[in-house]
Structure 1
């Protein structure tokens, strides 16, 4: 029996799967994003498998007539991205015809022109993968790889790649026209890229603490509006008399004195006392005392219509 067949069966049974999440979640999104932004086409990932292969096992993965993109990474590390003939043909068609044809052309050996046309998509997918993994542990082995060259057969890979374990992701892709393809990403398992950016968030400052809180609160309260009413007199009337009120009527104000004006806040509490008068042609109240009993030599001017709206002064005689 073919030794390659036996080796593939053993690799499939014993290969260590990568944990769910991380690069397994990010790679399908990166491939689709690169296709949408760089080529203007939509693709979806219909299947994904992750393995850890030796170099000998990796050399058996590329299918016939596949384009093998050589990737260079940090510390002279080398990886590969393999595009099978179906994926390669679809990427070429969308750039030359503007769309992916329903029927695929006959498979052929990839050329230097093919490699140049897909290199931008390869780099865009790798960049999107890095961006998606900035806070993930998988960034260490996926960071920093970009397209360098290509091969049209896998035999030279034995001399170009380091004899060390590789992390390998295989994605089955589907285009809107129904065409399918496969991409294989293989990178050295011993990563040399950046560490994930895991910054511990600082605790949110307590808005009720800090040296600026008192000053900010004072400024805010100083700008708040406070309603103060100048009350000459309060009268209680039966409901039937209130219903008979009409313009021109006279309402008596028993006990009203212009030198005993109460200043009341919105809560009905007396804030001070004053004397009714005029200031620059407007009704005015001169403050004579505050609720604490202290004198207040200030003149509080009120618009004439505001002072008259409490009760008409004709009732004072």
Structure 2
């Protein structure tokens, strides 16, 4: 008796150990495997029909490409999912005929019936098979990221012709799964399968919760672990970081600013020269939108191209000692940005050639007889020698600036 009990316990332990090894070595579920298992399981369990998926492929297609992928006389089942998303599941004539024969007669014939146009009765018979396959795919992928685009779809209606698909479905990119099927124990008959859903998922991601923390809609605790829609607030930090890092920011390197009267601006033409002081190279301002200063920089070269070297705190202080002023980014200008109503003189805007736009006393008016060039400058403005950027040479202490390094993770 003791020997028999010991052998029984050993057998139980051996089975548990083998099961644990099998579970640990099981490959993670993929959408392709989920579709394959769903088709085989539903056909076997509901129709007692052996079904093997001999080939399966995923492709990204536009709405215009979908009709070209459908086999003639296929049953087109329109499926509806989360957020009113629509897709299509197509059963070619051979697959539809096999399913109908199995549901009506319990077996399929030796010869393939002649192809015919599907009817509403065919759609009603195939609706349960379509819903069962979609439910199995959803259950298999419930804990995977793919559930956001694969879950929640069910049979809604059917189409007699593929031409209305272009009007019924949204003009977005679609995930299209096509499979080649073999029916029967020895593959006596073959068929096809097509499933297309919007590429961008609209369903909620799911997460597994422990039995002690999950309750159903009636407030009763579930004895088993379950999957519930994931709460985006749980991962708000990562989502916020991705959103911020994906945002664009436009920066401007300001070499020098010149204030001119409108009479001078109107004479600017291609080839006009604006004098820039030499010391402007050492006090370039890096600004964001709204002229908000972010950093100081100096102009140089890097690999034969013009480049900026951002100044550190010491360089910025030295520049301030030279008359640039201590660097201070200041506050955002948007909170106190003036509105059009606050800007003076807008109601008096008229002809830009009106004398009212000329410089004040001490300026210079523009006349058509004057030569082309930069006019209207105040006589006390001194810019020094004009700066030729094409002759810009590297600084004396280094041949060229090293590439700028930007550290992430701020």
* TM-score for both structures, normalised by structure 1: 0.55
For residues 38-75 of structure 1, the C-alpha deviation after alignment (integer angstroms, 9 at most, x for no partner) is 22212110110100101111121111110000001111
Greater relative contact order (CA < 8 Å, ≥ 6 in sequence): 1
Look up the match of 2:65: 57
Greater Rg over alpha carbons, structure: 1
SS in 2 for 1:59: helix
Distance 2:182 2:128 in 1: 20
SS in 2 for 1:58: helix
Supply the distance in 1 between the matched residues of 2:35 and 2:152 (Cα, whole angstroms).
15
> 1:59-138 alignment to 2 at 5 Å?
59-138=67-146
Match of 1:161 in 2: 169
Write the deviation string for residues 118-139 of structure 1: whole angstroms up to 9, x where unpaired. Answer: 1000000000101000111111
Q: Does 1:183 align with 2:156?
A: no
2:380 is aligned to none
In structure 1, the partner of 2:49 is 41
**Is the partner of 2:206 in helix, strand or coil?**
coil
Structure 2: gaps of 5 or more residues: 1-27, 211-410
Structure 1 residue 198: deviation in Å? Answer: 5.3
Mapped to 1, the partners of 2:87 and 2:105 lie a distance apart of 31
Once the two structures are TM-superposed, the CA of residue 21 in structure 1 deviates from its matched residue by: 5.5
- Note the alpha carbon deviations across 1:201-255, whole angstroms, 9 max, x for none: xxxxxxxxxxxxxxxxxxxxxxxxxxxxxxxxxxxxxxxxxxxxxxxxxxxxxxx
1:174 equivalent to 2:182? Answer yes
* 2: CA distance, partners of 1:45 / 1:102: 20
Offset, 1:152: 2.3
Number of equivalenced pairs: 183
Instruction: State the shift of 1:191 in Å.
Output: 0.7
Q: Does the aligned pair in 2 maintain the 1:130–1:139 contact within 8 Å?
A: yes
Note the 1:223-238 alignment, pairs <5 A. none
Question: RMSD of the alignment, in Å?
Answer: 1.9
